Chains A and B, each alone.
Chain A
């Protein structure tokens, strides 16, 4: 009885956490893809440890249902969905691992386990046979229950990866930035870019031009520029209109992003597309710094449904009553940057061409989880 009681209370507890997560993400109290990703991962960790299942498919369904709920809280914040899919693929991987070792013919399967690409070969047929195996086989039950610590460990690793992601990207800073180079960055709200530049500044001397990104990020731009200047980097804040005229002198455009789509396109702060196209005209390389948690398996079929529309008051002063009544203002927070505009994506796993992103998507996510 008591176990039932604690179970129910745990489930309640979890529900409470989920609800408050949903509320906070709606209120934008959890904001920014990193924070959302971290909070999602932590919530999933709790969810997995609070859920019971007899078969791994139950866990997967439950996590999917939960994922759908979390994702719908703010459908335009892709990081949340990405983490859910990562966890799902991790669960599937663990279950397949145990299944494979259980089934005994390790010789056939063992090479597959080590390679991440092998996971892709797991088609439905393969799954279903294994499923029926699992259901019929009484002995496999005990093994499956033991999966929990592995899954929890896996999510814990994911959280650690998230926490250290900026460090591993920043490590590449020195290789990317030359001495006395002029760098332009239009995404001052990116912590990744900030750490990237700060790390490079330890070894290199260069100039950074920070684009103001009116209206949404003006204050952040100034904070960002202050931090850079504090580290001894020569920093200039420029208005958005100046970008084209100054592009000729820029060595590289370094971009942070909110999400990377499966085709290599980006969702970066509004205005980024213009700057990237301007860089393309000048043949200036555009480099994107992004953690892999931002990589989404979504394709930009309907760009508008991916772009968050923000506070109108940032564009037009609310106190101006005569305009407020007559003008319809739209303030998109992000821009879709097509993959052609980007030359290189630096991730925590190394630098890739945008056209290779689909491959990373296949490595990290399962096809069956793409629609939650």
Chain B
């Protein structure tokens, strides 16, 4: 604002030529041999902040009156990033507009900024694959989400990562983890995880999401052979700040079923030790790092920012150009132009934005109040987050709730802890908003009736119901309990304190209950060629998947990691899968459990989709059919299995008609081998049906 005024004053006068050429040297960039890129994922791919995120993207929600994205950018500026790529998904227009108007697009910005649209992505994995396809990543980069608050000086972390990379190209990733006790308020309760780290090198050797397996984790005995000192830790805030090599997006592309960066990617890379990639952790003990990933952490991070854990990123740094916060004793931050009645009380840890008016007798404690709010008489506000332009009428009580921009809370109403009042909702007089209610005005498809019970006679808005239950509910209850924090952490207590074992000798006493029994495969592998060992392992993996009734995705994942590790062809993958599946079918038939047709259908309907990721074009299909045919020669009732399998796979659209015909007419295969001919004896009938069916459909 200042220089503009100055510029105008000077601009009216006669222009005199200048001699001195000015170069911008004030902001001398520290000489870096490598430019550092940063990828900011602006979308969280979650629904925890709904209904607020129905109208605004999460990264633009205000935290202490400053959009979350600002904190992320500020961190990136501190980290010395020179190029930022923001991946936008939901509300991309808002994010793009915000960035275009922000100071980060100015020439004074320490980095160049670019937004990339990735509208189809529904997970981190999708976004990474999209980035990989666009080829935007050229060197090691920083991967963050748009909702982190962090003041860790990054040069050391980066230097360490680069040193490791220089030594070992396979060290593809460094995760930045902040130590914090397990019950720390800033930890997202729903997403805790166990990291198994090598004590000396901080190499992460195992990652386990606690949610998926609550009571036990299973470690590969190999780990104990390779690493003498291990620590198993559950005392980290993992805010998903990662330094990744360009291999990471590529790996995401290869493993198209990876979605989550931790649950899928880290876990996957580490469990498939066949890939040979390593992931390291950088443990931060001094500075602040957190991520706003749930309402509970929104509350905690706000408190941390106010109590200056995030220094110098505090409200009085006035991150936005038009902010005028000043610090006062007791962590009170006030902007200019605030009207406070003489008898109102502002207690510690409070932020109040410009233009806000607070009337007599009101008490505000530990809360954030936005700009241009009107707060009536004798209002009680405690640990609440009140965004801009909210009106709170006399005698209202608001506790630990989020009141979004433009909302109106009627006189004598009570907003209980944990409630969310979304944009522009109007709550009438004498209404009690329960702690588990989320009120919104956002139009959601069908006509919703204004719920007078929830918002009162003269109110406006309806109760928002979360469609995707379960997972988010946990968090949701957390803000309800945020004052008491009675969250169910008891089950984790056993693993709370980090402990380390020094145990090469204990290694083999550990239970071996992993999906990949690498120990057994190793002994065989030495005598076999790679191809054989792949076939054997892949076959075993599918058999195991069938026996233990795994998820289809998991089975596919195992196969694809195996394939990459052994550098196998899809042909071999197919062969192994077919052998396993047909083996299963013939087992079902032989044990008289099912008839041929039912057996084929039951197995292939469940597991057939595996082939979708193995069979791509016509040549593949022909090869695939030949493989089935050959396999069937070894089985009892091979010919009927073959027939039903082809029929079944055709129904599933894995096989195309043309491919089947081509396969059938491939003469050499038919004449070469009597068995092959024999097993195919039933096929002509089916083919006949197929062609007639086709003709029929054509004639129609």
Contacts and interface: CB of A to CB of B under 8 A. Distances in A.
Contact of A6 (B18, B106, B186, B485): B18
Contacts of A42: 25-26
Contacts of B348: 328
B180 A318 contact: yes
B316 to A, nearest CB: 9
B6 A311 contact: no
B443 interface: no
Interface string A307-338: 00111110000111110110011110000000
A37 B287 CA distance: 27
Given A6-B18, A321-B187, 16 more contacts: A20-B110, A21-B26, A23-B108, A26-B317, A27-B77, A29-B78, A50-B22, A52-B16, A66-B6, A69-B2, A304-B328, A312-B308, A319-B235, A321-B180, A328-B348, A331-B308
Nearest to A68: B2
Contact of B308 (A26, A43, A311, A321): A311
Contacts of B5: 65
Contacts of B318: 26, 72
A18 to B, nearest CB: 6
A51 B6 contact: yes
A145 B14 CA distance: 12
A58 B13 contact: yes
A324 B185 contact: yes
A312 B311 contact: yes
Nearest to B103: A19
A163 interface: no
A133 interface: no
A27 B78 contact: yes
Given A3-B15, A15-B108, A16-B108, A320 B181 contact: yes
20 contacts: A3-B16, A6-B17, A10-B18, A17-B22, A17-B27, A24-B26, A52-B16, A53-B13, A58-B13, A72-B318, A311-B309, A311-B312, A313-B287, A319-B179, A319-B285, A321-B181, A324-B184, A328-B330, A328-B349, A330-B330
A16 B106 contact: yes
A50 B319 CA distance: 27
Contact of A18 (B3, B186, B308, B326): B3
B668 interface: no
Interface in A55-100: 58, 61-62, 65-66, 68-69, 72, 75
B457 to A, nearest CB: 40
B108 A321 contact: no
Contacts of B74: 27
Contacts of B22: 10, 13-14, 17, 46, 49-50
Interface in B102-137: 103, 106-108, 110
A7 B309 contact: no
A284 B56 CA distance: 63
A16 B24 contact: yes
Contacts of B331: 328, 330
A191 B602 CA distance: 80
Contacts of A23: 77, 103, 108, 110
A264 B593 CA distance: 98
B107 A65 contact: no
A4 interface: yes
Contacts of B20: 49-50
Interface string B315-349: 00111000010111111000000000000000011
Contacts, number: 169
Contacts of A20: 24, 26-27, 108, 110
Contacts of A145: 16
A29 to B, nearest CB: 8
Contacts of B663: none
Nearest to B16: A52
A54 interface: yes
B18 A52 contact: yes
A282 interface: no
Contacts of B285: 319
Interface in B170-184: 178-184
Interface in B273-317: 285-288, 304, 307-309, 311-312, 317
Q: How large is the interface on A (under 10, 10 to 19, 20 to 34, 35 or more residues)?
A: 35 or more
A278 interface: no
Contact of A322 (B181, B309, B311, B349): B181
A321 B288 contact: no
Contact of B288 (A17, A51, A313): A313
A311 to B, nearest CB: 4
Nearest to A75: B326
A183 B10 CA distance: 54
A11 interface: yes
Interface in B1-41: 1-3, 5-7, 9-10, 13-18, 20, 22, 24-27
Top 10 nearest A-B pairs (CB, nearest first) are: A321-B184, A69-B2, A19-B108, A20-B27, A311-B311, A321-B181, A62-B6, A16-B108, A20-B108, A17-B26
Nearest to A48: B20
Interface in B128-187: 178-187
A243 to B, nearest CB: 26
A249 interface: no
Contacts of A18: 2-3, 108
Contacts of A39: 26
Contacts of A14: 3, 22
A203 interface: no
B179 A15 contact: no
Contact of A49 (B18, B78, B304): B18
B72 to A, nearest CB: 14
A144 to B, nearest CB: 11
A359 interface: no
Contact of B185 (A7, A46, A312, A325): A325
Contact of B1 (A3, A61, A69): A69
A198 to B, nearest CB: 28
A13 B7 CA distance: 12
Contacts of A62: 6, 9-10
A283 interface: no
A12 interface: yes
A227 interface: no
A328 B307 contact: yes
Contacts of A24: 26-27
Contacts of A6: 17-18
A65 B3 contact: yes
Contacts of A66: 2-3, 6
Contacts of A319: 178-181, 184, 235, 285
A140 to B, nearest CB: 15
Nearest to A308: B327
Contacts of A312: 307-309, 311
Contact of B17 (A3, A311, A322): A3
Interface string B508-538: 0000000000000000000000000000000
A50 B18 contact: yes
A65 B26 contact: no
B15 A54 contact: no
Contact of A309 (B7, B110, B187, B327): B327
A310 B313 CA distance: 10
A54 B311 contact: no
A67 to B, nearest CB: 8
Nearest to A19: B108
Contact of A12 (B26, B78, B107, B312): B107
B3 A69 contact: yes
Interface string A236-264: 00000000000000000000000000000
Interface centre among A14, A312, A320 (most CB of B within 10 A): A312
Interface in A178-211: none
Contacts of B18: 3, 6-7, 10, 49-50, 52
Contacts of A310: 308, 311
Contact of A28 (B1, B185, B312, B324): B312
Contacts of B15: 3-4, 7, 52
